[in-house]
Amino acid sequence: MTAPKITWSGHSGTPYEFEIYPKGTAFNNIDGNYIFAQQTQSGWNAVYIGEGNLAERTQDKEHLVCASRKGFTHYHVHANSNEKNRKYEEADLIAEHIECLFENGGCNKTSDG
């Protein structure tokens, strides 16, 4: 069975396709981009946007605790082995989804991750 997918758009207008997994999912040691997302009646909110090793970064205590307190319900992830592209995507998504920034109620402390 394949995971459902969602497309998030960056500030540049670039679409990024993510797979949707429930909170608590364990991931393999692969690099990628991820979003701690909150499902609402009207759609999805980005609580935290990041990049790196999916097995490690999705279980990072600091971000996981913050995102859980802020109501995250699902992981949105996709593999991305190119570090330069991951970092660009992360910054592009954060610029468009400013709800993920700490000052706006999310868990990202800076606009570049």
For the segment 85-99, what is each residue's pLDDT rounded down to a tens digit? 999 999 999 999 999
Average pLDDT over residues 16-27: 96
Give 61-87 pLDDT, tens digit per residue. Answer: 988 999 999 999 999 999 999 999 999
> Residue with structure tokens 């991931």?
27
Q: DSSP letter at 4? A: P
Distant-in-sequence contacts of 4-10, Cβ < 8 A, 24+ apart: 6/44, 6/76, 8/35, 8/46, 8/76, 8/93, 8/96, 8/97, 9/96, 10/89, 10/92, 10/93, 10/95, 10/96
Query: What's the confidence (pLDDT) of residue 1?
Result: 60
For residue 9, the one-letter residue type is S
Of the two residues 48 and 110, the one the predictor is more confident about is 48
Strand ranges (E), 1-113: 5-9, 15-22, 31-40, 43-53, 74-79
> Residue with structure tokens 């969602």?
6
Exposed/middle/buried for residue 48 (C-beta within 10 Å: 0-12, 13-18, 19+)? buried
Q: What whole-number percentage of the chain has pLDDT above 90?
A: 91
